[in-house]
Structure 1
């Protein structure tokens, strides 16, 4: 066992500014190594969060409330060096063999995150920096609107400062996009078009010009000022002063940065691919894609192996789909049933604001039902509330994927399930129920809220990290779990469930096809349409997502298959002693982990149950 020669609480101050290669701080602890390293992890998490004002806000904190993250390469490098330094400190001061099983898992997670940061640094030049999938240009305004709470004059001053700060962050992102373009890394022209269009939307209307509706950030500013004035927090005179400060921040700092994005993307568009190609066409593209698959699936599966898994799953799900066509007595083959599901009016709400509200109301109804079933399947339940909202107009895209944004650990801000509802013909009713479960309960809201609310594990595991294979694997597993809980009473809704599972199986085939096998965008769309009833608008949006986010789409099915494998193993090993609530609490009770460490947790739980 290693000896400790300095005080634990001094380590944070020492390591936060230590360069790589400096002498590593040593630590003294009067308790067990497990207790000591858990205190150390929490200290380090505080240092980690200090890098990101946005993460502080996401966690419900109001420190650095007037700042936006530094998005430069230099800031990213500084954080990488911090990871390397802290890992060296951990290895120098703690004895892995002396730790509890859970503390060993924390150690492994810390090492994993350092390894991932180092691996990612090798491929900074291959990243698409600004693109249509909630890039910085649209993500930062959305974050500010949805997560920056304004409850005081100081909060409003900070809100205005952040409007100006977004301009700096956009400029930093543009520099990175320009540098990567010089190295040969450009997203396709369709992504250029989306960035240009979204940037124009964000900077149109009041106060940028007097045409059309007020801009989203101006509307948010006015709303905050009205509330503060009505509540007597500030005077009308002070509100007028702050309104002018917000106007200046938007017109003098915010808008010019977006104009620079629009101008450069417009000028550089001709250099981008008119026909999209996979990242294997980039310099070191094959290695970059292998890195992305490893990072997204947290496995060593190759592109060929993932492709073959996808083909197998597509074939299996087609068989289950055909069974439902017989159940509803449909007279035709599966392909014609896809067309029927894709085109028949009974499967869609009206394509207007009323239809969008009907969609949201229906999603809320399904989630209310599933909430009544949760105690039968989970011992740990989330405390944070859940809301269903339509995506803000400036970032809403026809057929784009719905998504979830976390609340705060203390429940003061709800988790939000966002739906893109600008084209209701891209959002079918049969798929509505399953998507609500994926994004809400028992899916992402449950998974992420439970993680945030966990006690007894280091904060960096409960609050500080998201792994796609674990998180999206859970989301897809939860869709099937909802059927076990009594959902999908309508066979068309059950077909909707199979449709979304097929969607994720197709992703394995299409993502690897595009980025490893040279598939064109149209080949990917055609394969998608041949194997699912998903509307064509949604399919095209999906395929373009895979093109600019290589590997990410493979996480869902790979993660789900691992969770199902571990559940089957636990059921076989434990027999009558298997408790579904205990299994789910084990899966969700350790925070987001790589799939190999999830297996370790489940194996430990099995051993504990067997040991009585």
Structure 2
């Protein structure tokens, strides 16, 4: 699954032909989809031996647009606005073939005459293309779901797009009509995964069916019907009635049946036969796959064992700080008893979803006010606060940033309001600083506003950089005067411990033979996360190998580079300039970030 952060890139992956689930048959409606995607691909040129870096970048971006109709539409190509991706075997095979050709051309390019900026572009593009080729080889397209959610939930975001014109509604109706083909393709790949033993671990799919049944509701209660509940003021009554009627028919005849069929397939065939093992190393070619993920998500040549040992060191360091906080508040019990106190005392938990959202909004507004002191450049795009969608909330993480691919839309800081007795308020400062500002919203929005960067960099996300920045932002709040309450500071430390423990449990489960219970016990014994969050997080790591390593590796790199800059520059060090230097080139791998900061230091000393 393409597990990316920017919604337009989030994950739209899959088959051709006909496949069955029990007695029900899905059919790939190839007549329209295949013609549309074929039309989109006509402008892609074959790589040449005398290609320039610019031509390679152009070809790679055009290839991305050709296979991502929603991305193309969001960037102005209205011909693709009513399409969903063609994820048939033929389409994915051809995409992989063309990606490999572009990658080979880039690798053979003479880079000796490239500028520093061009070398960075070449490195990042090569990493992106290599990852796409690697994931196809490892059959990642067999996994369009994770413990948290899947394609069936993410595709529903089409209903939240702006609806301003009659064309917007027609394009939406076209996509509703294409959903049966899209679900058929996804189901085909899930079946291939079952046959090959490439599925999420069965234990992580407990309750997964609830995220499907949430969509099986009466037509007018469906999220897919929402665009037909309000119309722009310039629409005539005739237009409103016509689109509403068409929407009811599409949802009744196309949308609801495919969700019911998918529910039946998952509950009767897929989940009962999912693999028992939790380790990525147990997958076909699993050890190589996991090492590939370690290097991809850290952007460094680290081994799983090196990551594991680093995690143990960080856990020990942070625990010492946590124990000091316990001493400072005068608590007389053990560390484990203090964690139990935090998890069970009602004073730490909101009574209503509104209370939790208001607390997040208040902290976010305080965070907005800190920005001018620490940053010279701020994004123009605002952000809002919203609850995690109800249909995915039960198995979803505690909060997340959802960026927008449009310049007329805000980003959103999602707060999980499910199970309020598992959402402690002492974590909210750290969570807000990470997901909103100065964390993901600031970094991602600035990235997209770097118009001098090629699009493949503006609309991409390097996890070690982005998540490292998010965790560093939690730490920055300490300097900015947050965490005045010792319990809030313990919440910050438990969030840092959470990311350190990830290094241990992710590598433990996927490379060192740890059981799920070992991972749960380690996480629960070292953090104040609620047991609900501990369990959902462990299942997330099982079904998304390696991603959890991004946070601590990125944060430690940024902290180390800041210490280098402070020690070398002395009185010349300026925190606003340093942060701008970190963010001014967008999302980059850790080795490139170090080169950038070294250049920044040298420039300040000259």
- Report if aligned partners of 1:198, 1:394 keep a CA contact under 8 Å in 2: yes
Q: Secondary structure at the match of 2:470?
A: helix
Q: 1:61 to 1:134 in 2, by over 3 A?
A: farther
* Corresponding position of 2:433: 437
- 1:312 deviation in Å? 0.9
Q: 1:429 Cα deviation (Å)?
A: 0.3
Aligned to 1:513: 508
Aligned-partner SS, 2:453: coil
C-alpha change, 1:61 and 1:489, in structure 2 (3 Å) is farther
Question: Retained in 1: the 8 A contact 2:149–2:395?
Answer: no
Aligned length in residues: 566
Superposed displacement of residue 14, structure 1: 11
1:342-491 equivalences in 2 (<5 Å): 342-350=343-351, 355-397=352-394, 400-408=397-405, 410=407, 412-462=408-458, 464-491=459-486
Q: 1:361: Cα distance to partner?
A: 1.0
8 A Cα contact 2:43 2:62, kept in partner: no
Corresponding residue of 2:526 = 531
Say which of 112, 131, 134 aligns to 1:97: 112
Distance 1:427 1:342 in 2: 9
Correspondent of 1:52 among 49, 68, 73: 68
Measured against aligned partners, the alpha-carbon deviations of 1:361-390 in whole angstroms (never above 9, x if no partner) come to 111111111211211211121110110101
Q: Give the deviation of 1:504 after TM superposition.
A: 0.6
Residues 445-465 of structure 1, C-alpha deviations (whole Å, 9 max, x = no match): 001000001132222212x21
Tell me how far apart the structure 2 counterparts of residues 80 and 365 of structure 1 sit (CA, whole Å). 47
State the 1:309 CA deviation.
0.9
Which of the residues 179, 199, 215 maps onto 1:186?
A: 199
Cα offset, 1:506, TM superposition: 0.9
After superposition, residues 544-555 of structure 1 pair within 5 angstroms as 544-555=539-550
- Relative distance call for 1:161 and 1:194 in structure 2 (3 A) is farther
1:68 is aligned to 2:84: yes
Where structure 2 has 5 or more consecutive residues not aligned to the other structure, the ranges are 1-39
* TM score, norm. by length of structure 2: 0.88
Provide the residue aligned with 1:196 in structure 2.
Answer: 209
User: Residues of 1 paired with 2:182 and 2:127: CA distance?
Assistant: 28
The correspondence for 1:227, drawn from 227, 231, 236, is 231
8 Å contact kept, 1:385–1:414: yes
1:5 match:
none
Superposed CA deviations along residues 70-90 of structure 1, whole A, max 9, x for unmatched, are 233443333333333334555
Q: How does 1:206-245 map onto structure 2 within 5 Å?
A: 206=219, 214-218=221-225, 220-223=226-229, 226-228=230-232, 231-233=233-235, 235-245=236-246
Determine the structure 2 residue equivalent to 1:281: 282
Structure 1 residue 62: Cα displacement: 4.9
Aligned partners of 2:50, 2:111: CA distance in 1, in Å? 18
Secondary structure in 2 matching 1:96: coil
Distance 2:180 2:596 in 1: 44
RMSD over aligned CA atoms reads: 2.4
> Would the alpha carbon gap of residues 387 and 58 (structure 1) be closer, same or farther in structure 2, given more than 3 Å must change?
farther
Q: Flag the 1:166–1:466 CA change in 2: closer, same or farther, 3 A.
A: farther
How far 1:535 sits from its partner (Å)?
0.7
